[in-house]
Structure 1
């Protein structure tokens, strides 16, 4: 495996790419953003922090998994069915019936469909990894809550990633997506001056008993009707790192300390997909009518928040609720107890790009860098750059490399991006939209014009 080392000037640069979230034909704008960010940053490492795969894409309709352990293709979202019809993609069951009625050759078996999905995953990887490989930059990837939904689980995706040059995902990791990337000092001594930790934060919480499973199954019809608004209606919420991963966070520091010969934890930054609950501590609760406030999700529902600028770095952005798990498994406490960890960065919530310092550690986001999923305006989609120095890795500098800075104000399909930015999936997102001053002003103006028109019509009728 390629060894990572600080440059002769003591610097080391990392790019965090979050939520590519695309199908086999990766959007050209996404690839362009990745290429331009690499050209601008000249990174030493690229980390992908989950949801690289748009697991619910119609391309994977025959092998889609709502949850792990289900029958492939058994519970496809209605929105995916509609998108498939618009794109002319037929499910295997539909096309098989047509083939039998026309006396045509039999359709592929499930094993063959899974092989086709593996090839589509390779195409997806080849698309967004293209600029990384062209630039000869090593990369590592962990997993989110949508990657596995294509039907290919993380262990197989790990094998596929390793087919590409520059992949640092080890074969002997604790679990797919959880591993350490030590960075050696610039003097060539082999001493570990810092480490990048990749953590698999899980996907969806597991049911704890048969009764809850029956309840979730009963909720399934509501889920398929409004799968975007009720994405978690048939589950216990988002997942968390495994107990083994939490224990590993401390054990790996012991190993690195032993490697250096001093037993001390090394400065470390962790990357994962789903944020822990402590990310809410970077916010402050405000009245519901506060402009640009966002309403919390699930365990934080009914409360509205804005950034707490006393703990957040300049340039931070809050665009949506923090989608954390309902359970706090103590990950941030584990990081601080292990020593050495100075930051934890996540993806998952596509519109968020803040960095806050709470509980003695930096907690931060990178927004989506993709153009096939929901997110902020084109000019705010981007990739997070980190610049470390071996003399003080914890004193790192970070900033966003955005589409607006690297390419221009608008993408090649700005109409679609506009709808993705203003997508309303339920009452909470509707209220969040109304808190955006520009949206409220437009709606208020439209209502005023409508009221004036009605008054004029009544006056005209009265004459």
Structure 2
């Protein structure tokens, strides 16, 4: 576990979300552009936490040292001295690369807050992190990181879904935090594959941003959004996966947002960049915007 997270003295906590970098080995021209963008945005935005929301590497590629590409990417975050978190996408562990192997690599970096999470629920990388108060040192906000899986069984098709065990894990974590703090903390959740409700928030007409492709969510709705509503804690959910979508909208009081695709080694018409999210201590709100590559 890396450094403790805490609000700044001015009551803010800034997160930068990188998603869908699709690094191969870190040596090609597109990879170098992606890694340079990550470094530049970290330096210019000076966040308090760096979050990689999946498809850090594109493990379906048959050439290049994919593990080295993964290392090169997370090393940029680690060398900045800023805590960073990683969750996996559907492309991080394909062919001969496995999540436990990537998780072991992450454990080598002192600024990484990622955890493998419980072994008896779906996926690897289900964990929480609290953000401490700027003054008292008590918990002031909570961040949830969840593994959204890879692909559904061929009889169903499409992408995986958050499994029931993960939904129950979320409920239990939320309950324990509320009991510990005698309050429901404001929270954010991060995953790779968008929830089915991303369709609904766009169709409601209230979303802002770009929808350049269909929402590639699972065909099965396993109820995570309903659990978030019931607990009344999570203010916003942040996903990646769909490189031509970057929209944001609010559904039943919960903001559903895409990050901006970061990597140059993959498809997508949107200018590469990252999403910036700033939490406000003592308030149930956050500010967010897209920061694009300036090149």
Task: Normalising by structure 2, report the TM-score.
Answer: 0.92
* Residue correspondence of structure 1 range 288-303 to structure 2 within 5 A: none
CA distance in structure 2 between the aligned counterparts of 1:247 and 1:240, rounded to whole angstroms: 14
CA distance in structure 1 between the aligned counterparts of 2:118 and 2:145, rounded to whole angstroms: 10
Structure-1 residue corresponding to 2:211: 318
SS of residue in 1 equivalent to 2:189: strand
Does the CA contact (< 8 Å) of 2:59 and 2:66 recur in 1?
Answer: no
Any idea what the Cα deviations from partners look like across 1:42-77, whole Å, max 9, x if unmatched?
Answer: 1010111111120111227xxxxxxxxxxxxxxxxx
Does the CA contact (< 8 Å) of 2:260 and 2:290 recur in 1?
Answer: no
Specify the structure having the higher radius of gyration (Cα). Answer: 1
Structure-2 residue corresponding to 1:365: 258
Structure 1 gap ranges (5+):
61-119, 213-234, 285-306, 409-463
Structure-2 residue corresponding to 1:32: 36
C-alpha displacement at 1:318, in angstroms? 1.3
Does the CA contact (< 8 Å) of 1:318 and 1:354 recur in 2?
Answer: yes
* Residue correspondence of structure 1 range 84-95 to structure 2 within 5 A: none
C-alpha displacement at 1:17, in angstroms? 0.6
Which among 46, 49, 56 is matched to residue 53 of structure 2? 49
* Residue correspondence of structure 1 range 284-363 to structure 2 within 5 A: 284=203, 308=205, 311-313=206-208, 316-363=209-256
Does the CA contact (< 8 Å) of 2:17 and 2:50 recur in 1?
Answer: yes
Does the CA contact (< 8 Å) of 2:117 and 2:125 recur in 1?
Answer: no
CA distance in structure 2 between the aligned counterparts of 1:9 and 1:134, rounded to whole angstroms: 25
Q: Residues 326 and 171 from structure 1, CA distance in 2 versus in 1: closer, same or farther, beyond 3 angstroms?
A: closer
CA distance in structure 1 between the aligned counterparts of 2:255 and 2:202, rounded to whole angstroms: 13
Structure-2 residue corresponding to 1:420: none
C-alpha displacement at 1:131, in angstroms? 2.8
Q: How many residues align?
A: 288
C-alpha displacement at 1:38, in angstroms? 0.8
After alignment, is 164-173 or 6-15 more displaced?
Answer: 164-173
Moved segments of 4+, more than 6 Å: none
Matched, 1:242 2:125: no
Any idea what the Cα deviations from partners look like across 1:291-347, whole Å, max 9, x if unmatched?
Answer: xxxxxxxxxxxxxxxx82xx224xx11111110111111111111112211111100
Structure-1 residue corresponding to 2:134: 186
* Residue correspondence of structure 1 range 60-71 to structure 2 within 5 A: none
Structure-2 residue corresponding to 1:199: 146
Structure-1 residue corresponding to 2:173: 252
CA distance in structure 1 between the aligned counterparts of 2:74 and 2:57, rounded to whole angstroms: 12
Any idea what the Cα deviations from partners look like across 1:265-312, whole Å, max 9, x if unmatched?
Answer: 21110000001111011223xxxxxxxxxxxxxxxxxxxxxx82xx22
CA distance in structure 2 between the aligned counterparts of 1:332 and 1:338, rounded to whole angstroms: 10
SS of residue in 2 equivalent to 1:364: strand
CA distance in structure 2 between the aligned counterparts of 1:125 and 1:136, rounded to whole angstroms: 18
Structure-2 residue corresponding to 1:7: 8
Any idea what the Cα deviations from partners look like across 1:149-182, whole Å, max 9, x if unmatched?
Answer: 0422222211111112311112554652210011
Structure-1 residue corresponding to 2:198: 279
CA distance in structure 1 between the aligned counterparts of 2:116 and 2:74, rounded to whole angstroms: 19
CA distance in structure 1 between the aligned counterparts of 2:67 and 2:82, rounded to whole angstroms: 19
Any idea what the Cα deviations from partners look like across 1:200-255, whole Å, max 9, x if unmatched?
Answer: 11111135xxxx4xxxxxxxxxxxxxxxxxxxxxx621001121111111111112
Between the two structures, name the one with larger relative contact order (CA 8 Å, sep ≥ 6).
2
Which among 359, 381, 395 is matched to residue 285 of structure 2? 395
CA distance in structure 2 between the aligned counterparts of 1:167 and 1:317, rounded to whole angstroms: 31
Structure-2 residue corresponding to 1:137: 82
Q: Residues 265 and 155 from structure 1, CA distance in 2 versus in 1: closer, same or farther, beyond 3 angstroms?
A: farther
Q: Residues 124 and 141 from structure 1, CA distance in 2 versus in 1: closer, same or farther, beyond 3 angstroms?
A: same
CA distance in structure 1 between the aligned counterparts of 2:126 and 2:251, rounded to whole angstroms: 24
SS of residue in 1 equivalent to 2:245: coil
Does the CA contact (< 8 Å) of 1:320 and 1:349 recur in 2?
Answer: yes
Structure 2 gap ranges (5+):
none
Task: Normalising by structure 1, report the TM-score.
Answer: 0.60
Structure with greater proportional strand content: 2
